[in-house]
Amino acid sequence: MAFALAVHAGAGTLQPEKQIQPFIHAGLRAALLAGFAVLADGGTALDAVTAAVVTMEDNPLFNAGRGSVLTMEGSAEMDAAIMEGAGRRAGAVGGITGPRNPILAARMVMQRSEHVLLVGEGAIRFLREQGMAMETPDYFVTERRQAVLLAELSRRADELNKPSHDAAKAQDSKHGTVGAVACDKAGTLAAATSTGGMTAKLPGRLSDSPLIGAGTFADNATCAVSATGHGEPFIRWVVAHDVSARMRYLRETLDQAAGNVVAELAQVGGSGGLIAVDTSGRITLPFNSQGMYRGTIGVDGAPMTAIWREKLT
């Protein structure tokens, strides 16, 4: 039976310094191989997307876990969600600082509580009671993200004095997210998404990532989706579920459904993209921004990655 996995690590006006590009490819490959090891061994899609996202959360280059972007007050507040396509089981956390791997926190909410989404202090209390180890807040904060925050705050101060402020364009350079979707040997789907959100966000702001149906969705009847981009339009357009709904009600293929949703988003200033997989292991990776950190792996075990519009290699 075929299996497949795709990952992303954010979309937008990607301008990684030349010297860090190999590390981005390496980070994507490490995530793909972690998920592949699970799937090749007959493991579940849920375990595969968890393993892939954990590696990217631990990688300070990506906006999730350690290295998350910072709120306007300089703290890291993270969101994550996980969903399984058999029975639509789901768990999510929002606005948390503490668990090293927010995706494991989301999974704990799914497996050990009767709820889908826990946020803030209540979430932390629950996770602590469940025995989850906590990091101190400074574990998540990197110098690189502090520099980006300072640049963003001073850009905002300058923008206030300029008449034409292209808000959508300005958003592009300061977000990112990591995510994974998988189809396992049994044909079960799963999706996982984890993010620090957007640079200089208001404390308390939630992204699309932890919202089931917006940034994350999985249903064995259709597909598994993890999205990345400017979260507010992704929430209002209920992106991940819209891909599934088009397949279900309009009988569109995975490619058509995902492509149409991402094209529609472009028209309303929703910059970004998504990764999706169906139960036959087909993968699609559409985006409407300059690029999207992305990669795929299948039964041959060869990780393929790309940053901008070039083909996966």
**Residue 227 near residue 215 (C-beta atoms within 8 A):** yes
Segment near ligand ASP (CB under 6 A); pick from 34-42, 109-117, 206-214, 243-251: 206-214
220 vs 228 by CB, closer to ligand ASP: 228
Which parts of 41-166 fold into alpha helices (H)? 45-57, 102-112, 120-129, 143-159
How many residues bind to ligand ASP according to rule CB under 6 A? 15
Sheet holding 78-84, edge to edge: 117-119, 89-96, 78-84, 189-195, 178-183, 4-12, 291-297, 304-306
Q: Is 44 part of the annotated catalytic residue set?
A: no
Stretch that binds ligand ASP, among 29-37, 121-129, 225-233, 295-303 (CB under 6 A): 225-233
Instruction: Determine if 177 is a binding residue for ligand ASP (CB under 6 A).
Output: yes
The stretch among 40-48, 101-109, 203-211, 247-255 that binds ligand ASP (CB under 6 A) is: 203-211
Would you count residue 175 as binding ligand ASP (CB under 6 A)?
yes
**Residues 6 or more apart from 292 whose CB is under 8 A from it?**
8, 10, 11, 14, 228, 272, 273, 285, 307
Q: Which residue is nearest to ligand ASP (CB)?
A: 231
Q: Is there binding between residue 71 and ligand ASP (CB under 6 A)?
A: no
Nearest Cα residue to 13 out of 307, 312, 311: 307
How many residues appear in the chain? 313
Binds ligand ASP (CB under 6 A): choice among 59, 68, 97, 209: 209
Q: Residue numbers of the site for ligand ASP (CB under 6 A)? A: 10, 175-177, 195, 197-198, 207-209, 215, 228-231
Q: Could you list the active site residues?
A: 177
